[in-house]
Amino acid sequence: MFDFSVEPEFQAKLDWIKAFLKEEVEALDVLFPHVAHIYNPEHKASRAILKPLQEEVRRQGLWACHLGEELGGKGYGQVKLALMNEILGQSRWAPTVFGTAAPDTGNAEILAMFGTKEQKERYLQPLLDGEIVSCFSMTEPQAGSDPGEFKVTAVRDGDHYVINGEKWFSSNARYAAFMLTIAVTDPDAPLRSRMSMFVVPKETPGLKFIRNAPYMGEFTEELSTEGYLHYDNVRIPVDHMLGGEGQGFAVAQARLGGGRVHHAMRTVGTCQRALDMMCERALSRRTRGKQLSEMQLVQNDIAQSYIELEQFRLLVLKTAWIIDNAHDDPRKAVTHIAMCKVVAGKISQDIVTRALHLHGSLGATHELPLADMYMSAPTMGIADGPTEVHISTVAKRLLRNYTPVDTLFPSEHLPPKVAKARARYADVLKEHLPAE
């Protein structure tokens, strides 16, 4: 039923990606551990290395492959993207090199689906060309990602909307050319129709930076790109709304589904790298007269990690297959996307923790990538919505497939089933079983 195979020509591309990361992209990973460098126009060294690599990716026809053919992508579909992203997930710089870095991928999809011709020319094309970066400004300091608690408002004033309030952890805000901002336009409306989304150019008067929010080990403001923003009477033309008024929730969901599954795809690659390091360490290190690989607890950690990763990888591929084959109704993949998001947070933390532990004190230093991977793992449980929300989604959608019974005992209660079976085969039982 499910087919994850690819043609030899695409497998050759996957082999090229793997070699390219090892031979070329790894240099960026070790020279500039923080990708935030590239967003700073004054940081010329990383840009000088990056640009030729991006051009080579373009020559190979592998630039921005998440896009459909109508946007200049290859239209590969999600299964092929999953196989690509599990390789790209082994490098922090790879998504930028290949034009698939968040939040630009999701923002580009929103502009492609809901943007006007002018918006696509001004914002989308430079974004696709890698000339600018963008910001997704959704979460708020008092609400996190819960839209029911959002306080940022957008009030209609003639041919403008006036936006007021604070946004927290706005992705890429420091260097973005524009923000995609969600604001409440009708506080009395139902949850799914109370918000709208706007394109807010960076230079708009009233858009103020309270500070940048360092995260994932990036403890200096120089390396942080996530913005704590204050919208102070920010006036945005009516035509800068994406979708209609009250459609912000739907527009955001169109973006977040793809973003969540792509996070999961890259998590496969991150965990595979940690597992590779674990196996190498087990075969290379000795203690108490034995190799680590001979210790049963080490064998348990390796086996558990491999089993969990293989299960997760198959879940991601199945989810990708469902998306590719759900053209009539994209909602068919919602449950599986939520499942991927739940597992991604747990598996990344579990496997990376085991790998770090096996490397001892060295694993806890920045002389190996494990410490950064370890600090990044918890973000998988909160990015694009907390794990608890996705667990609830899985349960609620699964329960739709069931109905309650109107009897005193459950449908699997054995006494009535036994009675029914006896009645059905009464003649056979009477002939072959001794009388009671």
Please check whether residue 429 lies inside any domain of the structure: no
Same domain for 159 and 34? no
Residue 214 CA to residue 204 CA, distance in Å, equals 24
Please check whether residue 422 lies inside any domain of the structure: no
- Helix axis angle for 296-324 and 334-358, nearest 10°, is 160
Same domain for 56 and 153? no
Report residues of the chain scoring pLDDT below 50. 216-219
Same domain for 270 and 320? yes
Residue 154 CA to residue 240 CA, distance in Å, equals 12
What tens digit of pLDDT does each residue of 86-140 get?
999 999 999 999 988 888 888 988 898 888 889 999 999 898 888 888 999 999 9
Same domain for 142 and 203? yes
What tens digit of pLDDT does each residue of 308-348 get?
999 999 999 999 999 888 866 667 889 999 999 999 999 99
Please check whether residue 416 lies inside any domain of the structure: no
Same domain for 336 and 222? no
Please check whether residue 414 lies inside any domain of the structure: no
Contact 267, 380 (CB under 8 A): yes
Please check whether residue 374 lies inside any domain of the structure: yes
Per-residue model confidence (pLDDT) at position 217? 46
Same domain for 268 and 353? yes
- Domain extent for 102: 8-115
Q: Give ∠ CA 23-27-28 in degrees, rounded to 5.
A: 125
Please check whether residue 433 lies inside any domain of the structure: no
Per-residue model confidence (pLDDT) at position 400? 95
| CATH number of domain containing 88 | 1.10.540.10
Same domain for 174 and 197? yes
Contact 153, 159 (CB under 8 A): no
Q: What are the backbone angles phi and psi of residue 212, rounded to the nearest 5°?
A: -95, 150
Please check whether residue 129 lies inside any domain of the structure: no
Please check whether residue 197 lies inside any domain of the structure: yes
Same domain for 281 and 392? yes
Per-residue model confidence (pLDDT) at position 224? 59
Residue 428 CA to residue 435 CA, distance in Å, equals 12
Q: What is the pTM of this model?
A: 0.87
Residues β-bridged to residue 225: none
| CATH number of domain containing 272 | 1.20.140.10
- Of 217, 242, 267, the residue that ends a domain is 242
Same domain for 96 and 235? no
Per-residue model confidence (pLDDT) at position 216? 47
| CATH number of domain containing 210 | 2.40.110.10
Same domain for 292 and 377? yes
Same domain for 392 and 308? yes
Instruction: Give yes or no for a cis peptide into 103 (omega within 30° of 0).
Output: yes
How many domains, in total, are found in the chain?
A: 3
Contact 168, 92 (CB under 8 A): no
Same domain for 310 and 289? yes
